[in-house]
C-alpha cells in the first residue's frame, strides 16, 4: 500500500522545520549534559552535539513509512525521525515509561511507532539488521526505505562490507549514512584506515557514493530526497559519507580537548559550520524566539515527565525475555 | 483452488507412512511456507542441486527464488539480515550446513537476536529459525563436527532444539517456525537417513516437553540429539545384561523440561547423561545440576556424564571412534551405576556397533 507522495514543502516551511528539529536536538542534549552530574540519568550518554545536521537532513527527506536505524550515538537520529521525546527522556532515567521500559538505556533507543529501529552498543551490528529490514520492505512491497546510520568505525567491521554487498546484490532500499567524525572512541582515522577513500571503496559494490565534506543539512536533505523515488522503485542502495565533528567527549557530558588527542582549533573550525546556527540564519528573530520557546517548554515537560514517572516494578526484570 | 502437494511420499509400513528425517525437515518447511507467506528460507546453497544434503529439496520449485535463496558467504551479516527481516514481520529460516559456521553468527545471535525483545522494551519480536547441522564420521574433523548447542543454551532469549528422530524433527521445526523467538534448531547429519512414522498433516512438538522413549526402573539415560539413538542401542544391550534403562530425549534443550528427567531420577536414583558435545559447561552439566538441586537430600544419587572427549575432533577412524560416546561405553557406564557391586561389564563388541553405522556408508 504505497503512501501518498509528500507534497513539495514551501521553502520557508522547510527552513522552519529544519531549524526546529536541529535546535530541539541540540537543546535536548545540552539539557542531558546539564542534568548528568545530578546522577538522575542512569545511562551512559553519547552526545550527538555538533553532528545533528546529518540526522536532520536525512530524516527530513524521509516519509513516515520509512525507517531509520541509528547508532549508540543515536539521540539525534531518534528525535529527527520523530521518536517520542518523553519516552527517550524517561528511558535515560530508567523509568517504566521509557521507550524500552527502562531495559535499554540511551544506547538502545527504539520507537517502532515512528519507525525508529532499535540501536546497539556493538559498533556495526545494526547495519545488517537494517539491511534485513529493507529486504522485508522489498518483499512486502511497502515502498518504504531504510536510512541506516553508522559511524566511521563501523566501516571497519566485516559485517559492513557483507551488508553493502548483499544490499547491492538484491537492490535493497537502503540509504547508508556514514557519520564520519574522525574518531573511534579516541583513535583517529590515521591510525585505522590505510586510505580515506571510503566512497571509492563503497562504489566498487556498485553503490553510488557521495561525500559531504561540510555535512550541510540542506545539501544532504536535497540529495536524499532526489534519490528516494528511484530507490522506492527498486533502484538499489546509496551511500553518503558525511564528515562531521563530535564536539563533546566520546561518552559523557563534557569535553575531551585536554586529553591531547585532538585539538580545540578543530572544534573552532567545525563550530563555524554549526548546523543549528546556520539554520537559524534562515529565520527571522521573531520566528526563532517563538520556536525556541516552544522547544524549551517541550523539553521541560519531558524532564518533568521522566522525573515523575515510576521505576519499573521489580517483577519486570523477568518480562519480555521471550515474546 | 487445489493445494499443491506438500508432503513427501516416504514408504508405507503397517498402513502408516514412514519418512526419513531429512524429508521430514523439508516437509515441515513446505507446510509452513504454504501456510504463511511471510516464511522464507535462505542460506548458502539452499537452492543448489544438493539442497543441503537433501533437506531443502523441492522448496525452490514450489516457492520460487524470492522465498528460497542462497546467500554470499557472509554468515555474520546474513544473520543480521534475518533478524531485521524478522523485526519487520517476516519469519526467516536461516540454514547452515554445519554448526561450526554459527561461530561467525555469534555477535548477531547473542547481542541482537537474543536480547532485542528485552532491551527494546517488548516493542519488537524476532521470530527466527537458525537451522544448523552437526556433522560426524568419515573424517569430518575438528571444524565440521562440533555440537555447540550449550553455547546457545547459556543465553536468555534464545531457544534451542535438537530433535533425534523424523517425527520430532517435523513437529519441532514447525513449532520453531511458529515461535515468536529466535530458535537454534540443531540437526545431526547421521540422523538424516533414519526413519520414523510421520503423519502427513502439520503438528507441533512443543518447546519444553521431553519424551520418555523407553521406560525402565534401574537407571535413567538422557541423550542429546543423535545420542538418543545411541542411548536406545545401549538400553538394548543393558536389557541383555538384566538392567532396565529408562531413556529420555529432552528434544528441546531451552526451554529444558527437567521435570520429566527429575521425575525419572526420583525413581531410579541413577542418571547417565550422554551429550553430543563436550561435557565441560555442557548440556549434561546443566541437566546434572538441575537434577542434583531437585533431588538433594532425598537419598543416594549417582550421576555420570558422557560426551565428546575433551579434544578437538580428529578425522582418523580409531581416534574418532574414541572421541565419541557409543552404545558400548554408554551401556558400561549405566551398568556401573545400576549394578555397583557387580563386576565391571562390557557388552559384546559385535552387538555394540553404532546404531547409525548399520545404515551409513561413506563417503560424504
pLDDT digits (tens, 9 = 90+) for A245-304: 999 999 999 999 999 999 999 999 999 999 999 999 999 999 999 999 999 999 999 999
Q: Is the pLDDT of residue A2 over 90?
A: no
Give CA–CA dist A270/A137, Å, rounded: 37
Query: Which residue, A271, A254, A66, A102, is CA-closest to A175?
Result: A66
| Per-residue model confidence as pLDDT tens digits over B35-51 | 999 999 999 999 999 99
**Sign of the C-alpha dihedral computed for residues A230, A235, A241 and A247 taken in this order:** positive
What is the model's pLDDT at position A3?
47
Whether B327 contacts B348, CB under 8 Å: no
Where residue B271 sits, what CATH number does that domain have? Answer: 3.40.50.920
Residues found in chain B: 364
Residue at B173 is within a domain: yes
Confidence category of residue B9, pLDDT binned at 50, 70, 90: confident
- H helices present in chain B, as ranges: 21-35, 59-63, 75-87, 106, 116-119, 149-153, 166-178, 227-240, 258-268, 283-295, 317-323, 327-338
Whether A323 contacts B207, CB under 8 Å: no
**Beta strands A183-184; A187-188: pairing state:** antiparallel
The reply to whether B125 and B63 lie within a common domain is yes
Residue at B11 is within a domain: no
Confidence category of residue B256, pLDDT binned at 50, 70, 90: very high
Q: CB-based contact (8 Å) between A323 and chain B? A: yes
The reply to whether B165 and B216 lie within a common domain is no
Please state which of the ranges A1-15, A55-69, A183-197 shows the lowest mean pLDDT: A1-15
- Of B166, B197, B228, the one marking the end of a domain is B197
Does B117 contact A136 at a Cβ distance shorter than 8 Å? no
Residue at B202 is within a domain: no
Map out the domains of chain A as residue ranges: 46-247+256-311
The reply to whether B150 and B217 lie within a common domain is no
Give CA–CA dist A149/A129, Å, rounded: 12
Which of chain A's residues have a Cβ under 8 Å away from the Cβ of B37? none
Nine cell digits for residue A288: 526563532
Q: CB-based contact (8 Å) between A138 and chain B? A: no
* Eight-class DSSP state of A6: P
- Of B145, B166, B197, the one marking the end of a domain is B197
Q: CB-based contact (8 Å) between A320 and chain B? A: yes
Residue at B183 is within a domain: yes
At which residue does the C-alpha cell 515441515 appear? B28
Which residues in B have their CB inside 8 Å of a CB on A? 40, 66, 71-72, 74, 76-90, 92, 107-108, 111-112, 116-127, 156-157, 159, 180-181
> Which backbone phi and psi does A97 adopt, to 5 degrees?
-85, 0
Whether B55 contacts B25, CB under 8 Å: yes
What is the model's pLDDT at position A61?
98
Sheet holding B195-197, edge to edge: B11-13, B16-20, B195-197
Q: Is the pLDDT of residue B361 over 80?
A: no
How far does B41 lie from chain A, in Å, by closest CA? Answer: 13
Nine cell digits for residue A181: 567524525
Query: Which residue, B104, B65, B63, B105, is CA-closest to B82?
Result: B105
Mean pLDDT, rounded, for A29-58:
96
Where residue B190 sits, what CATH number does that domain have? Answer: 3.40.50.970
The reply to whether B260 and B345 lie within a common domain is yes
Confidence category of residue B358, pLDDT binned at 50, 70, 90: low
Confidence category of residue B2, pLDDT binned at 50, 70, 90: very low
ipTM of the complex: 0.95
Mean pLDDT, rounded, for B192-205:
95
Nine cell digits for residue B83: 533478524
Counting residues of chain A whose pLDDT is more than 70, the rounded percentage is 97
The reply to whether B68 and B32 lie within a common domain is yes
Beta strands in B97-218 (DSSP E): 129-134, 159-161, 183-188, 195-197, 211-214
The mean of the pLDDT values for chain B is 94
What is the model's pLDDT at position B357?
58
Topology of domain A46-247+256-311, per CATH? Rossmann fold (3.40.50)
The reply to whether B96 and B221 lie within a common domain is no
The reply to whether B35 and B99 lie within a common domain is yes
Does B87 contact A117 at a Cβ distance shorter than 8 Å? yes
Residue at B119 is within a domain: yes
Residue at B81 is within a domain: yes
Q: Is the pLDDT of residue B353 over 80?
A: no
Backbone angle region of B122, left / alpha / beta, with phi > 0 → left and psi within -120 to 50 → alpha = left
Which of chain A's residues have a Cβ under 8 Å away from the Cβ of B127? 323
* Eight-class DSSP state of A111: B
* CA dist list (Å): B92 to A189, B41, B152: 37, 6, 19
Does B78 contact A322 at a Cβ distance shorter than 8 Å? no
The reply to whether B189 and B262 lie within a common domain is no
How far does B93 lie from chain A, in Å, by closest CA? Answer: 13
Residue at B159 is within a domain: yes
Q: CB-based contact (8 Å) between A128 and chain B? A: yes
Which of B33, B80, B154, B207 should one mutate to test binding to chain A, selecting the residue with the greatest count of A CBs within 10 A?
B80
Whether B243 contacts B218, CB under 8 Å: yes
Q: CB-based contact (8 Å) between A305 and chain B? A: no
Quote the number of domains for chain B: 2
Smallest Cβ–Cβ distance between A128 and the set B66, B80, B125 belongs to B80
The reply to whether B274 and B348 lie within a common domain is yes
Whether A235 contacts A171, CB under 8 Å: yes
- Of B165, B197, B229, the one marking the end of a domain is B197
| Per-residue model confidence as pLDDT tens digits over A135-192 | 999 999 999 999 999 999 999 999 999 999 999 999 999 999 999 999 999 999 999 9
The reply to whether B283 and B142 lie within a common domain is no
The residue segments making up the domain with residue B352 are: 211-357
What is the model's pLDDT at position A297?
98
The reply to whether B336 and B226 lie within a common domain is yes
Active site residues of B: 75, 144
Does B90 contact A125 at a Cβ distance shorter than 8 Å? no
Sheet holding A238-243, edge to edge: A116-117, A67-69, A146-151, A174-180, A238-243, A209-212
Residue at B283 is within a domain: yes
- Indicate the helix (H) or strand (E) that contains A115: none
The reply to whether B171 and B253 lie within a common domain is no
- H helices present in chain A, as ranges: 11-35, 52-61, 75-80, 85-92, 126-139, 158-169, 198-203, 217-232, 264-271, 275-280, 285-308
Amino acid at each position: 500500500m504505497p503512501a501518498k507522495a509528500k507534497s513539495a514543502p514551501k521553502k520557508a516551511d522547510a527552513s522552519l522545520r529544519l531549524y526546529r528539529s536541529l535546535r530541539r536536538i541540540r537543546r535536548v542534549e545540552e539539557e542531558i549534559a546539564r542534568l548528568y552530574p545530578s546522577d538522575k540519568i542512569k545511562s551512559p550518554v553519547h552526545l550527538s552535539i555538533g553532528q545533528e545536521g546529518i540526522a536532520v537532513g536525512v530524516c527530513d527527506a524521509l516519509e513516515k513509512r520509512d525507517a531509520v536505524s541509528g547508532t549508540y550515538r543515536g539521540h539525534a537520529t531518534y528525535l529527527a525521525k520523530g521518536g517520542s521525546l518523553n519516552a527517550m527522556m524517561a528511558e535515560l532515567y530508567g523509568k517504566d515509561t521509557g521507550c524500552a521500559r527502562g531495559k535499554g538505556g540511551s544506547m538502545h533507543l527504539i520507537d517502532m511507532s515512528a519507525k525508529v529501529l532499535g540501536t546497539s552498543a556493538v559498533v556495526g551490528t545494526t547495519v545488517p539488521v537494517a539491511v534485513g529490514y529493507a529486504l522485508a520492505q522489498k518483499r512486502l512491497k511497502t515502498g518504504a526505505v531504510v536510512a541506516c546510520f553508522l559511524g566511521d568505525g563501523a566501516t571497519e567491521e566485516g559485517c559492513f562490507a557483507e551488508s553493502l554487498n548483499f544490499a547491492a546484490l538484491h537492490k535493497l532500499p537502503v540509504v547508508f549514512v556514514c557519520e564520519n567524525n574522525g574518531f573511534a572512541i579516541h583513535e583517529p582515522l590515521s591510525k585505522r584506515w590505510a586510505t580515506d577513500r571510503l566512497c571509492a571503496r563503497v562504489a566498487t559494490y556498485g553503490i553510488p557514493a557521495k561525500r559531504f565534506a561540510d555535512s550541510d543539512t540542506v545539501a544532504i536533505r536535497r540529495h536524499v530526497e532526489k534519490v528516494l523515488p528511484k530507490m522506492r522503485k527498486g533502484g538499489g542502495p546509496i551511500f553518503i559519507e558525511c564528515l562531521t565533528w563530535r564536539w563533546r567527549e566520546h561518552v559523557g557530558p563534557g569535553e575531551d580537548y585536554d586529553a591531547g588527542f585532538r585539538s580545540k582549533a578543530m572544534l573552532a573550525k567545525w563550530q563555524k559550520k554549526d548546523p543549528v546556527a546556520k539554520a537559524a540564519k534562515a529565520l527571522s528573530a521573531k520566528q526563532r524566539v517563538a520556536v525556541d520557546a516552544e522547544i524549551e517548554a517541550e523539553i521541560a515537560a519531558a524532564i518533568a515527565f521522566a522525573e515523575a514517572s515510576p521505576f519499573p516494578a521489580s517483577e519486570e526484570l523477568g518480562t519480555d525475555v521471550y515474546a | 483452488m487445489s493445494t499443491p502437494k506438500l508432503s513427501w511420499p516416504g514408504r508405507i509400513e503397517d498402513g502408516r507412512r514412514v519418512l526419513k528425517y531429512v524429508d521430514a525437515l523439508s516437509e515441515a518447511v513446505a507446510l509452513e511456507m504454504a501456510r504463511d507467506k511471510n516464511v522464507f528460507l535462505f542460506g548458502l546453497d539452499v537452492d543448489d542441486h544438493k539442497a543441503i544434503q537433501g533437506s531443502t529439496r523441492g522448496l525452490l520449485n514450489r516457492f520460487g527464488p524470492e522465498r528460497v535463496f542462497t546467500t554470499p558467504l557472509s554468515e555474520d551479516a546474513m544473520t543480521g539480515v534475518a533478524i531485521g527481516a524478522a523485526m519487520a514481520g517476516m519469519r526467516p529460516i536461516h540454514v547452515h550446513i554445519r554448526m561450526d559456521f554459527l561461530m561467525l553468527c555469534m555477535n548477531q545471535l547473542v547481542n541482537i537476536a537474543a536480547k532485542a525483545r528485552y532491551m527494546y522494551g517488548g516493542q519488537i519480536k524476532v521470530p527466527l529459525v537458525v537451522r544448523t547441522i552437526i556433522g560426524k564420521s568419515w573424517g569430518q574433523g575438528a571444524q565440521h563436527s562440533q555440537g555447540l548447542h550449550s553455547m546457545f543454551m547459556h543465553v536468555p532469549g534464545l531457544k534451542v532444539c535438537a530433535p533425534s528422530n523424523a517425527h520430532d524433527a517435523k513437529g519441532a521445526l514447525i513449532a520453531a517456525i511458529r515461535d515468536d523467538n529466535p530458535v537454534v534448531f540443531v540437526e545431526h547429519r547421521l540422523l538424516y537417513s533414519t526413519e520414523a512414522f510421520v503423519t502427513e498433516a502439520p503438528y507441533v512438538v512443543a518447546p519444553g516437553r521431553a519424551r520418555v522413549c523407553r521406560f525402565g526402573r534401574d537407571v535413567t539415560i538422557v541423550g542429546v540429539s543423535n545420542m538418543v539413538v545411541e542411548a536406545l542401542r545401549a538400553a538394548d544391550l543393558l536389557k541383555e545384561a538384566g538392567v532396565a534403562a529408562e531413556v529420555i530425549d529432552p528434544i528441546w534443550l531451552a526451554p529444558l523440561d527437567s521435570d520429566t528427567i527429575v521425575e525419572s531420577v526420583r525413581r531410579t536414583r541413577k542418571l547417565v547423561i550422554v551429550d553430543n558435545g563436550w561435557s565441560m559447561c555442557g548440556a549434561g552439566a546443566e541437566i546434572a545440576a538441575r537434577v542434583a538441586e531437585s533431588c538433594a537430600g532425598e537419598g543416594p544419587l549417582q550421576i555420570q556424564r558422557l560426551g565428546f572427549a575433551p579434544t578437538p575432533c580428529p578425522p582418523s577412524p580409531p581416534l574418532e571412534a574414541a572421541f565419541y560416546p557409543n552404545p558400548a561405553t554408554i551401556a558400561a557406564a549405566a551398568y556401573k551405576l545400576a549394578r555397583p557391586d557387580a563386576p565391571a561389564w562390557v557388552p559384546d563388541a559385535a552387538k555394540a556397533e553404532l546404531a547409525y553405522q548399520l545404515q551409513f556408508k561413506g563417503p560424504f
